[in-house]
Amino acid sequence: MRAQAPGNAVLNIAPSTRLTIQRGGTADYSVKAELQPGFHVNSNMPGDDYLIPIKLTWNKEPLEAGQVTYPKPQMEKLSFSTNPISVYTGTFEIGTRFKAPATAMPGMAFMNGKLRYQACNNKECLPPRTVDVRVTLDIQ
């Protein structure tokens, strides 16, 4: 759908925990998501070109985001699909390994990103949504 309807969020992102990282070092962070019962989101590789994959992206600074690691999807046979589709349900975590440049400014900072997803249940689909994700950093 073209516009995002604000009132129909079925996926909640857990509040950010602080990530401590050394300059020149790396640290892992997980975005924790929880879906309302009965709903699913497509995995990052849904196996159908028409389906919208979940995708986590990060800004280019103050940290460098490495590869984003998606959890293993469930293959669900839904009432509307002839073949099982690759989805996430319930709670799941998407990991990212961050690297702090050696020249990074020490102190408190924020790493901002976006999570795009599209949720459905057996009877209907909600519009694709893009939500902001923010990590509080302690760069040492």
Partner 1 sequence: MSKTFLGVGVGFMLACALLWTGCSKGSVKASVKSDAAAKPPEFKLQDAVGQPTPEFSLKDVNGQTVHLADYKGKVVLLDFWATWCGPCKVEIPWFIDFEREFKDKGFAVLGVSMDEDGWTVIKPYVKDRQMNYRILLGDDKVSASYGGLDALPTTLLISREGKIASVHEGVSMGKEEFKNAIAQLLEAPRASAPIRSRGALALLARPGSR
Q: Does 50 bind partner 1 (CB under 8 A)?
A: yes
Q: Does 80 bind partner 1 (CB under 8 A)?
A: yes
The distance of closest approach from Cβ of residue 30 to partner 1 in the complex, given in angstroms and rounded to an integer, is 26
CB-based contacts of 48: which residues, under 8 Å, 6+ apart?
85
Q: Which one, of 55, 26, 48, 28, lies nearest residue 114 by Cα? A: 55
Return the number of the residue (22 or 121) whose C-beta is nearest partner 1.
121
Return the number of the residue (67 or 124) whose C-beta is nearest partner 1.
124
Query: Are 126 and 8 spatial neighbours (Cβ–Cβ below 8 Å)?
Result: yes
**Contacts with partner 1 in 98-127 (CB under 8 A)?**
118, 120-127
Piece in contact with partner 1 (CB under 8 A), picked from 13-21, 62-70, 76-84, 93-101: 76-84
The Cα–Cα gap between 131 and 113 comes to 9
Query: Are 38 and 11 spatial neighbours (Cβ–Cβ below 8 Å)?
Result: no
Q: Does 83 bind partner 1 (CB under 8 A)?
A: no
Return the number of the residue (87 or 104) whose C-beta is nearest partner 1.
87
**Cis bond before residue 62 (omega within 30° of 0):** yes
Report DSSP letters for 24-80, one per residue: T-EEEEEEEEEEPTT-EEE-SS-SSTTS---EEEE-SSSSEEEEEEPPPPEEE--TT
Q: Does 19 bind partner 1 (CB under 8 A)?
A: no
Return the number of the residue (40 or 100) whose C-beta is nearest partner 1.
40
Binding site for partner 1 (CB under 8 A): 1-3, 5, 7-8, 50-52, 78-81, 85, 118, 120-128
